[in-house]
Structure 1
Amino acid sequence: MACRFPFIGALALGLALLAPLPAAAVAGGVRIKDIARVQSDRLHPLVGYGLVTGLAGTGDSPANRATRQSLANMLSQFNVTLPPEAVNSRNVAAVMVTAGLPNFGRQGDTIDVTVTSVGDARSLVGGNLLLTPLNGPDGKTYVLAQGGLTVGGYRYEANGTVGQKNHPTVATIPGGGSIEVAPPAPNLAQLNSFSVSLLEADYTNAARIAESINAGLGGAYAKARDPDTVSVQVPDGYRGRFVELMQRIEAMEIAPDLRARVVVNERTGTVVAGANVRVAPTAITYGDLKISIVTENAVSQPLLLRQPSEAIRTEDYANSRIDLQEQGGATLVTQPGGTIADLVQALAKLRTSARDVVSVLKALKASGALHAELIVQ
């Protein structure tokens, strides 16, 4: 059967279809603050190695030599000398601690840290991170982290039965990192120019940001250097008033140019796309072929004989049959100007599964009928 589908912007099959408006249809526009950032505003990655204690028997096993050695080294700092072989505790876990140090962080400020197990610990629930220095790429210590862990999952075992939710070997400590050394930050009051970096590189959006800044400041102060960067000269009236200048620039709005894109998650069968993503006129044939093999077991019982022998006995045998069921296939014929929303709605009416919808979209991209970038996760 053939199905010609009208425009319907809804979704079924448990698929998420987000419908951003075309650039020309955006009424209020989007703030520059939401799609770009000043290049001096960044996070410095930090990492450290530490120990989590207080676990209820869910820490690293005694077979983990690194944890035993680390615990012995830690105890030696408190005048408790033990060989690593004598350490036997499942209440301790070796972890890696990571954090992002903001560029304008100051000494004494606190930041969030993430704790991940590096051994064979089963869960970090209820644990406490001991004082851990976090170092930058230069090897210097910038942050000291410690505190109670917040775990977004659990794992419990009893009599061979395991119950687990999410990942209990990853935890966070809100405000668990204390900045000891502030990162080098530029002196904003002395800046003559700066750069605005787009969160997603795009030539059109970079040009529109430059146009919006020039219109808002009343002069040729901004210039798009590439699809990712817009250079801005500080006007004479804003010398030493960088914060006020950024407050004004961040509030400026542009009509962003949206790139046609379809994101597919094969594990969950989720499709996220803009409703304005176009599909070229094409025909899609969809059908299922089901093959089932049925085996019936039976027993062959010989008739009663007057003179039985060892050659005559009961025998088991099996009969197998193959059933082929081919459901009626369906053909979809897309029209000029059709969108992903049209296609998905039509497939929903045919009761197509989410994973089959993903396969259809991949086939459309391979045939050149899908006018969008297809991202498969």
Structure 2
Amino acid sequence: MTAMKPFLTLMFCLLSTLVWADRIKDLSSVQGVRSNQLVGYGLVVGLDGTGDKSPFTNQTFRNMMEQFGLTIPEGEDPKLKNVAAVSVYATLPAFAKPGQEIDITVSSIGNSSSLRGGSLLLTPLRGADGKTYAVAQGSLVVSGFGADGEDGSSIQVNIESTGRIPSGAIVERSVPNAFSDGDHLTFNLHRSDFTTAMRMAEVINELLGPDAAYAVDSTSVRVTAPRDANQRVSYLSVLENLEVSPGEESAKVIINSRTGTIVVGQHVMIEPVAITHGNLTVTIANSLAASQPNGLAEGETVVVPATDVAVDQELKPMFLFGPTVTLNDLVNAVNAVGAAPGDLMAILEALKSAGALKAELIVI
């Protein structure tokens, strides 16, 4: 057993010095290579009596009928029970070419209760510039489910007013980009960090030579690149698979007040401080008691209220933090006291107010 101790100590030291590395493609994106949002307005038909009764649905239906050469007399209500007005939206990937198919999402914008079983009619999808980049059509796939009983009871699982159409839109126009323009490529980090940007430039320069890459700021790293499109694709394929050790995040404590989730990041330190935390519970119980006259004395039985007040204070021991307390020490101390997430939130906020918590406290 004693012979194992030096070995275990050596393994612990080796594991503690390991540095995780990420690929450049996981840390950043290439400037100009981006997706675009598309949106459209259309009609879903073939519903089982769950269509909407919105005036704009009737107007859209009339306009569509006129395009087919049919005119609905003015003032006549078409009573659309199986038609619903919907918004259609999709994401157009970078470099998408005409003829390719993309997925779309369809959502009711009227008072339709369900889109189950419906089919979307031909709908143009436009970009922010107002141009049509895709057209959508097809049968909806709705994951929601609902049922109503004759006694008024109902049950619903998920939402029936939203559905998807896999490969439901065909790209009609490609979006131009500047990927092949100029003599440089720029990597934009997903999370801005000066250390990560510097290390990324160093890793690229080790492969390509000095001055091939340089960090513009905490977010961007610019790299020289060939002008030929084929060479540039191969060139980028090599660069995006290089591994970089990202810089460590700054000390942060994240608190989600809605769910009680608390995340304490690395490098969180606490100055010497003593903490005690307890709960004071006051319980007031009201009851009714009968009051009767003594013996044969005249009087009548009456009901009088009775109130019991109890105070219960939970005893919590005080725990002391020494200098340069680490995350592990904080977790062990809180677990020893048995603080609940709500109590831990109060402790962390008090530590920050006292200036003892050396970290950014973020409440979301």
**Normalized against structure 2, the TM-score is what?**
0.82
**SS of match in other structure, 2:32:** coil
- d(CA) in 2 for partners of 1:243, 1:77: 46
**1:361 CA displacement:** 2.9
- d(CA) in 1 for partners of 2:152, 2:177: 54
**1:83 CA displacement:** 5.3
The residue that corresponds to 1:333 in the other structure is 320
- State the Cα RMSD in Å: 3.1
Identity of aligned residues (%): 40
**SS of match in other structure, 1:108:** coil
The residue that corresponds to 2:36 in the other structure is 44
- Equivalence map 1:7-86=2 (5 Å): 25-27=17-19, 29-60=21-52, 62=53, 64-78=54-68, 79=70, 81=72, 86=77
- d(CA) in 1 for partners of 2:346, 2:85: 43
The residue that corresponds to 1:103 in the other structure is 94
Partner amino acid for 2:320?
V
**Count, aligned residues:** 346
The residue that corresponds to 1:243 in the other structure is 233
- Equivalence map 1:289-308=2 (5 Å): 289-300=280-291
1:171 is the counterpart of 2:158: no
- Equivalence map 1:317-332=2 (5 Å): 317-332=304-319
Q: Which of 150, 157, 160 is 2:152 aligned to?
A: 160
Q: Deviations over 1:203-232 (max 9, x none)?
A: 111111111111111231111111111111
- d(CA) in 2 for partners of 1:348, 1:54: 59
Partner amino acid for 1:246?
L
Q: Deviations over 1:297-330 (max 9, x none)?
A: 2345668999x9xxx7664432222221111123
**1:97 CA displacement:** 2.0
**SS of match in other structure, 1:209:** helix
The residue that corresponds to 2:352 in the other structure is 365
- d(CA) in 1 for partners of 2:144, 2:327: 37
- d(CA) in 2 for partners of 1:136, 1:197: 24
**1:287 CA displacement:** 0.8
**Normalized against structure 1, the TM-score is what?**
0.79
CA contact under 8 A between 1:279 and 1:338: conserved in structure 2? yes
- d(CA) in 2 for partners of 1:82, 1:299: 78
Change (3 A) 1:170 1:225: same
The residue that corresponds to 1:141 in the other structure is 132
The residue that corresponds to 1:13 in the other structure is none
The residue that corresponds to 1:223 in the other structure is 214
Change (3 A) 1:328 1:112: same
Change (3 A) 1:150 1:194: same
Q: Deviations over 1:277-298 (max 9, x none)?
A: 3333333321111122211123
The residue that corresponds to 2:6 in the other structure is none
Change (3 A) 1:284 1:57: farther
Change (3 A) 1:88 1:324: farther
CA contact under 8 A between 2:33 and 2:177: conserved in structure 1? no
1:197 is the counterpart of 2:184: no
Higher mean alpha-carbon deviation, 366-375 vs 218-227, is at 366-375
- d(CA) in 2 for partners of 1:84, 1:206: 66
Unmatched runs of 5 consecutive residues or more in structure 2: 1-15
The residue that corresponds to 2:362 in the other structure is 375
- d(CA) in 2 for partners of 1:275, 1:56: 56
Higher mean alpha-carbon deviation, 157-166 vs 255-264, is at 157-166
Higher mean alpha-carbon deviation, 317-326 vs 277-286, is at 277-286
- d(CA) in 1 for partners of 2:262, 2:361: 10
**1:80 CA displacement:** 5.6
**SS of match in other structure, 1:251:** coil
CA contact under 8 A between 1:151 and 1:170: conserved in structure 2? yes
- d(CA) in 1 for partners of 2:96, 2:203: 30
**SS of match in other structure, 1:45:** strand
The residue that corresponds to 2:247 in the other structure is 257
The residue that corresponds to 1:8 in the other structure is none
